[in-house]
Structure 1
Amino acid sequence: MDTAALIDDHTNGLFTGVSDTGRDNAKLAIFCSGTAFVLAMAETVTSIFDRFPVPLSLPIFGMMTVAIGSREIAARSRLSQQTRHNASSRRELEAKNRWFSVTEAHARVGHWRLDLTTNEVFWSDATFAIHGLKPSHPPSLNDAINFYHKDDRSYVVQTIERARETGQPYNFRARIITPGGETRHVEAAASVECTSDGTPAALFGVVKDRTGEEAMQADLRQARDQANALASAKGQFLSRMSHEIRTPMNGLLGFAELLELSQLSAEQRRHTELIIGSAKSLQLLLNDILDLSKIEAGKPDIRYGETDVSAALQSVIATSAKLAQHKGIKLVTDIGPGVPPKINVDAARLRQILCNLVSNSVRFTDTGIVSLAASKDGDGLSFSVTDTGAGIEPHRRDSIFTFSNQDQSNPTDLKNGTGLGLAMSRQLARLMGGDLTVRSEFGQGSIFTLTLPDHADHVLASTASDSQDVAHKA
């Protein structure tokens, strides 16, 4: 049956007792609406006439029917649009959930929720994976807690109960045991969801698999312990070796100095001086090796005591006086205003550092002056060694204080040292609370500056009333 016949059949029975013109208008309204639900609207309009017998013309009746049908069409159109929008939003939300799940799986992070009223647990798929399970119905609270290592379980329970009582968030690390027996390290963090009256209602949190990180840290700790053990063994070996060599070296040096005092030919004296110079160089190297082993072992030998500043500087100059005289270099000392005549310092370490600096300056200076000066530097003391030597190239200024920095391109160059002196001197300076720095212009000389603290307990005598200027020509 076609649409027109269907409408005709229903309206003939619906509008019994209505004139032909009224039925035609109703048919026209129903036909124009184009939808079957207008029949229900027409029936509604008919009931209105039954309850309120107001004389209306049938054209008005038809218009009312059309208006009601139009409103219904508009409402259904809006409902259809809303349905389509909801479907689109649902698809977008599903896509975001998929991305979220992928991110959780890749980062080994899962989320979970615990209802504090019912103890009902929710786990995300990633949370199941971290616990070594396939996604399924979440476990009970007791079963979830039983995943934790027996030694960590009581702490986990206490933490959850504390959050239940106080509403405070928490974060902890613990171990879990998977159904396969694997131990995994996890980090759990949660915040508390409260009702309108502030009562804790649920815990919402995340769990992060930290197993790989813990394994890496364990490897690093093992490597550190091995390195410390090797360093300790090396330090002990160096210390023992230097002590064993020191005794025969002292004997060799002593007899060489006695030989120098005997009646010798010019050639024999030159050979003896070479033996003495080489023995002293080796003796300095042994001292450096011993100091290095002590520093690396964390047992530096620093002994503070009363030290005369002027006497200390003169003794340092004396060690290089012979070489300076041979090269025609002038050695000068100077003590500036404000420097106390006596200070509390490790005299042996101070002398060791300054001897190294002066010796280097004399070796690398062919003509001119090498000066050793002491001055007041703010709250501390400053000892500077200035020379008119070759200076230091810019690219080497930072490396001269590192071990094994010497240029080995010319192994026969007598100016090349072991690379221990300056590095050792800086470390000793820092062990005494100071530092060792350098300023240099290539081709114009260098200034090495040793700074040491000048605390009240280090100064044992009042500040000298007058400046002391001492000059010594080699």
Structure 2
Amino acid sequence: MTLIQNFFLFDKSAPFLPSSYDPALIVLSVLVSIFSSSIALQMVGQSGPESSSKGSKFLILFAGSLALGCGVWAMHFIGMLSFQLCTTVSYDKTLTIVSMIPSFVASMIALAYVARPKIHWVELVVGGVLVGSGIGAMHYTGMAAMRTDVLLRYDPVFFSLSILVAVILAILSLWVRFGLSNLKLSRNVSTLVAGSVMGLAISGMHYTGMFAARFIGTPDTSFTTGSSNPTFLALAVSITTITFTAFTFAVNAFIRYRKLVNNLRTSETRMRAIVTTAVDGVFTLNREGRILDFNNSAEKIFGYRSEEVIGKNIQLLIPEALGNKEEDWIDKRLLGKFIGTGQESFGFTKSGGRFPIRLAVGYAKLPNEDILVCFVTDISEQKMIETALKQSELQKRSLIENIPGVTYRCLLNDKWTIVFLSEAVETLTGYPVSDFMEPNPKRYFVDLIVPEDRERIGAIVQEAVEKKKAFVLEYRILDKNGNVKWCWGHGSAIFGGNGEVLFLDGVILDITERRNMEEELRRSMEKAELAALTKTSFLANMSHEIRTPMNSIIGFTEVLLSGELKKDQVSHLEIIKGSAKSLLRLLNDILNTAKLEKGAVELENNTFSLFKLISELKSIFGLNARKKNLEFEVIRDPNLNEFFIGDSLRIRQILTNLIGNAIKFTDLGKVVFRIDLEDSYIHFSVKDTGIGIRADRLDKIFDPFTQADISTTRRYGGTGLGTTICKQLTDLMKGEIWVESEFGKGSVFHVRLPLVPNTRIDPHKEKLFDYQYPKLKILVVDDMEKNTELLKLLLSKEGHTVSVVYRGEDAVRKYSEETFDVIFMDVQMPGIDGLETARIIRFHEMQENVKRTPIIALTASVFQEDRDAAKDAGMDGFVAKPIDLPELLSELASVLQLNGVSGSKKETKVSALIAPSESDKERIKILFPEILNAFQRGTIEESHINELLTLITGKVEEEWIEKFLSNVNQFEFEEARSRLFEFSSFLNIPGIES
């Protein structure tokens, strides 16, 4: 309580001493406080990124705090010097000096906050309170240093106000320091404003505190204004201010110098790093062209180490850099040619290699010397790329110029505005390129397109662009002369980064010649198709016209042969029948060739017996060979399988042609038919001892209508189609056929077919010739009376009831009046033909819901399309003319789905009349092997057979002998052998085994 009473004044009646101030010193005190505050803030402002050292930052903060603290202290005592009191005043030296400590601490606090990049409002308030309190502590400590005879007390209100003023103004000064940064003022302006506020805070606190001071006592009457002489205070303020101001400036100068040195060092390091790590070669020169510095990249480019070139002339590296007069090379060569822009030149490596460079030169005029900085880039790779690009450009240009068409780039608009067009457009259109180019085109390419094609090709292009695919066009244009030209175009769209269409690129070819050729080919094809159609029509008509009378000739000949005739009549009829069948074979050959050329022949792959086929061929051609006194030998591979899958009909056709030709062209010797197994192939060969084939005709022997020569045709006849058909059928079966021949000595024809072996024949697929027919009611429809008469005769002999009509209309009427089991319908008839008649009958059956009547087509045509047409019209079977009775009955059985019995001939059992004697049996045992071996070879030993017949005549039934002789005469050797084995078994002749 005593301390407070000694500090504050509570008695308002106490006598106060009068006091006054010197205005000049007041202003000086304020300016000193502002000056010291600004100096301190300026010092702290240097503590930025450049002063990264903690020591530097502390030194700056310490110097600034010392300057500000000294300023606060100096301001206070200058203010005290301006204060005039009517008594003698002195100051305690110790307290006067100690009073600087609070201001220094306050300055440290204030400047520590100012040095921060940002400050929070809480930190702002705390800092302002601490700074204001420190200023107040300094002021009142300095006041306590006064020594006088009067009492010093303070008004509590104004005392508190002084502290409050110091705090508020300190907060304000800190806020101003950070707030001004948002106004983007310069550093000096913001420092001056913040220093002024801080100085006013110091001055404001001081003079508010002085206003709170109360001096109690009586005036000294002997005191005058000049009697007070505070020499110490004046000296202390002066020395302290000067010393610490000098220290502050020294620190400031040191910091600035150090910053400058660091900046220079950093700049030098940065520049050296740039030069050292630069990709380009960098080196410096003096005015004499001597190299002063040489970086790492320059070492790599030129191949020299830096110590090898420093001090050497630049001509060592770049001879072109120097002119003839070395003394003015900088002015006229380097500076005149290379400085500023850089130029291409050539450098030389340490190994002497010459390479292209880009050289740029910088010139610097230094106080002591002039230097040049040279930047060198190795452009070898760039030059290689440029060369490659030039070559590529030349290739593309050459390609574009040599493309047999027009290359273009255009915009996707209504006019297809041309961006690029090759010179070939003039050849195509007759107009030069300039006529189509912007900015003032004389015409647009799209206008040359024939109007009928524009919309179509526009739609194609648009669709291709939408689907981002290439487009292909064919269209017509009108050239300069008005000629129509066909063009083929191929192109695609080029798209930008946003998917927009930039251009259409493509090529246009003149295909007028190709289109004309296509048109010519089309006309030729039409002519060829017409010719083929005419040929087919001719063959069909020829087949019909020939087969129709042949039907009657062969049919009635067979009818006559089945009756009782004299021997010479039978001979004559057989000649007629043979000639008719020869003519029929000729016709079939022609038709077969036509069908094979047309590709109308289809193979039927079924299981068949190869042994049976060989036996039948042996029987057929053995007789023909015997008639020419030729030996016909059949040799069969013992490892050969019996059953195979294939088209036995076509195989028979090939072998029949080859064996028939061999016998026909052989007058003396023999014919050998050989069958061998070769892997998955069956190798047929037919060897003869005939006339042979000339060497120059061998390669044409399989061509149509080709024989050995004209004399051969005259002598032996024939069309030359047999070998052609063999070749075509062999190719169709994916086999091989070839011939070996020596003129005058004979020929060997080879056929290799890929036949698949099988185990047995499906019994349901065997062709049966003898059927159990019910008595049928048959309707025959044919416009040819002789055909209907023949059919009626043949079918009536089989026990059937036959009705005959001659037109389609009559057939429909007859069908509606009566019920028939089957109808034989001729296809080609005047009026309503057979096909239409069949359709009418089928429609009637469907309408009336009656049972379907089988219809068998009768036609002289043998083409597959005719069979298909008959089937489509509703016919159930197909029989070709001339009529073959077994074939007709087989087709009839197939249509009626009748069960057949074996077609083999009914066997005649051997019945002995008189048993042969023992001597006859012995002779028979000798004859049997001779006869059987001959049968095996396909020949007939007549003497042995006659002797055998002499031995058994009268001892066995005549019927057995007749059947045996019939088998021999028909070359049915397998059947004849079977009869002989049956005979030997029946007569119990030992030593003969089948």
| TM norm structure 1 | 0.64
Whether 2:472 is the aligned partner of 1:172: answer: yes
CA distance in 1, matches of 2:751, 2:685: 6
- Which residue identity is paired with 2:647? D
Match of 2:937 among 436, 458, 471: 471
Q: CA deviation at 1:300?
A: 1.6
2:419 alignment partner AA:
V
Could you list the runs of 5+ residues in structure 1 that have no partner in the other structure? 1-62, 76-95, 463-468
2:589 is the alignment partner of 1:123: no
Q: Distance in 2 between matches of 1:214 and 1:68?
A: 72
Give the one of 402, 419, 439 matched to 2:740.
439
Report the Cα distance in structure 2 between the residues aligned to 1:301 and 1:240, rounded to whole angstroms: 23
Q: Tell whether the 8 Å contact from 1:397 to 1:438 is kept in structure 2 after alignment.
A: yes
Aligned to 1:152: 457
User: What is the aligned partner in structure 2 of residue 248 from structure 1?
Assistant: 549
CA separation in 2, counterparts of 1:288 and 1:215? 39
1:369 paired to 2:670 = yes
Pairing of 1:208-287 with structure 2 (within 5 A): 208-253=509-554, 262-264=566-568, 269=571, 275-287=576-588
The correspondence for 1:461, drawn from 749, 760, 764, is 760
Structure 2 residue matching 1:410: 3-state secondary structure: helix
1:423 Cα deviation from its structure 2 partner: 0.4
1:67-466 equivalences under 5 Å are 109-114=405-410, 121-131=419-429, 133-138=431-436, 144=445, 147=449, 149-159=454-464, 170=470, 172-178=472-478, 183-189=484-490, 205-253=506-554, 262-264=566-568, 269=571, 275-300=576-601, 302-406=603-707, 409-410=710-711, 413-455=714-756, 459=758, 461=760
Identity %: 31
Contact 1:380 1:453 in 2 (8 A): yes
Q: Structure 1, residues 225-248: CA drift from partner, whole Å, max 9, x if none?
A: 321232123123213322432343
| Residues 152 and 461 of structure 1: CA distance in aligned 2, closer, same or farther (over 3 Å) | farther
Amino acid paired to 2:459: S
The aligned amino acid for 2:618 is I
Change (3 A) 1:178 1:119: closer
> Number of aligned pairs?
379
Say if 1:149 and 1:176, in contact at 8 Å, map to a contact too. Answer: no
RMSD: 4.7
Instruction: Report the secondary structure of 1:397's partner residue.
Output: helix
Of 182-191 and 225-234, the range deviating more from structure 2: 182-191
Structure 2 distance, partners of 1:121, 1:130, is: 18
Q: Which amino acid aligns with 1:373?
A: R
The Cα offsets for residues 348-397 of structure 1, whole Å up to 9 and x where unpaired, read as 22222211111110112223221223332322323222222232222111
Quote how far apart the aligned CAs of 1:128 are.
4.6
Q: Deviations over 1:195-236 (max 9, x none)?
A: 99xx99766543211111112112202211321232123123
Q: CA deviation at 1:419?
A: 1.0
Rounded to whole Å, the distance in 2 between the matches of 1:263 and 1:461 is 43
Distance 2:476 2:434 in 1: 19
Query: Tell me, what secondary structure is at the counterpart of 1:392?
Result: coil
Residue 237 to residue 448, structure 1, CA distance change in 2 (3 Å):
same
Residue 285 of structure 1: how far off its partner (Å):
0.1
Shift in CA distance, 461/382, structure 1 to aligned 2, threshold 3 Å: farther
Q: Answer with 183-192 or 311-320: which moved more.
A: 183-192
Counterparts of 1:298 and 1:412 in 2: how far apart (Å)? 28
Q: 1:471, CA displacement in angstroms?
A: 3.0
Seen in structure 2, the aligned counterparts of structure 1 residues 236 and 119 have a Cα distance that, compared at 3 Å, is closer
Cα separation, partners in 2 of 1:409 and 1:389, compared to 1, 3 Å? closer
What amino acid is the match of 1:136? S
Q: Is the contact between residue 115 and residue 202 of structure 1 (CA under 8 Å) also seen in structure 2?
A: yes
- Alpha-carbon distance in 2 for matches of 1:438, 1:411: 18
Q: Distance in 1 between matches of 2:507 and 2:544?
A: 60
Identify the residue that residue 972 of structure 2 maps to in structure 1: none
How far residue 337 of structure 1 moved from its aligned partner, in angstroms, is 4.1
User: Post-superposition shift, 1:304?
Assistant: 3.3
SS at match of 2:590: helix
Amino acid in structure 2 at the alignment position of 1:177? I
C-alpha separation between the residues in 2 aligned to 1:179 and 1:413? 63
Q: 1:158 to 1:143 in 2, by over 3 A?
A: farther
What do residues 248-300 of structure 1 show as CA deviations (whole Å, max 9, x unaligned)?
Answer: 335434666756963329xx95x666545433321210111221232234322
Letter in 1 for 2:666: T
Task: Kindly indicate whether the alpha-carbon contact (under 8 Å) linking 1:373 and 1:385 is maintained by their aligned counterparts in 2.
Answer: yes
Q: Name the CA distance, whole Å, in 2 between partners of 1:174 and 1:185.
A: 7
Letter in 2 for 1:389: G
Q: Matches of 2:628 and 2:580 in 1, distance apart?
A: 21
State the distance in 1 between where 2:711 and 2:685 align.
Answer: 30
Shift in CA distance, 412/351, structure 1 to aligned 2, threshold 3 Å: closer
Deviation at residue 405 of structure 1 after TM alignment: 1.0
TM-aligned CA distance change 1:348 to 1:454, over 3 Å: closer
Counterpart contact for 2:617–2:656, Cα < 8 Å: yes
* Range that drifts further, 228-237 or 402-411: 402-411
Distance 1:347 1:64, change over 3 A: closer
CA distance in 1, matches of 2:712, 2:675: 35
Classify 1:435/1:238 alpha carbon distance in 2 versus 1 (closer, same or farther; 3 Å). farther
Conserved in 2, the CA contact under 8 Å of 1:367 and 1:388? Answer: yes
Unaligned segments of structure 2, at least 5 residues? 1-324, 338-393, 762-934, 941-994
Q: Distance in 2 between matches of 1:335 and 1:171?
A: 65
Q: Decide whether the 8 Å contact of 1:440 with 1:446 is kept in 2.
A: yes
Q: Give the Cα–Cα distance (whole angstroms) in 1 for the partners of residues 721 and 626 of structure 2.
A: 26
SS in 1 for 2:434: coil
CA distance in 2 between partners of 1:379 and 1:145 (Å)? 65
Structure number with greater CO (CA < 8 Å, separation at least 6) is 1
Asked if the contact 1:385–1:448 (Cα under 8 Å) also holds between the matched residues in 2, the reply is: yes
Structure of higher CA gyration radius: 2
Deviation at 1:132, TM superposition (A): 5.6
SS in 2 for 1:206: strand
Q: Take 1:234 and 1:219, find their aligned partners in 2: how far apart are those partners?
A: 22
Q: 2:754, 2:615 → 1: CA distance?
A: 22
| Alignment TM-score, normalising by the size of structure 2 | 0.33
Q: Give the partner amino acid of 2:457.
A: D
Distance change >3 Å, CA 64–CA 294, structure 1 → 2: closer
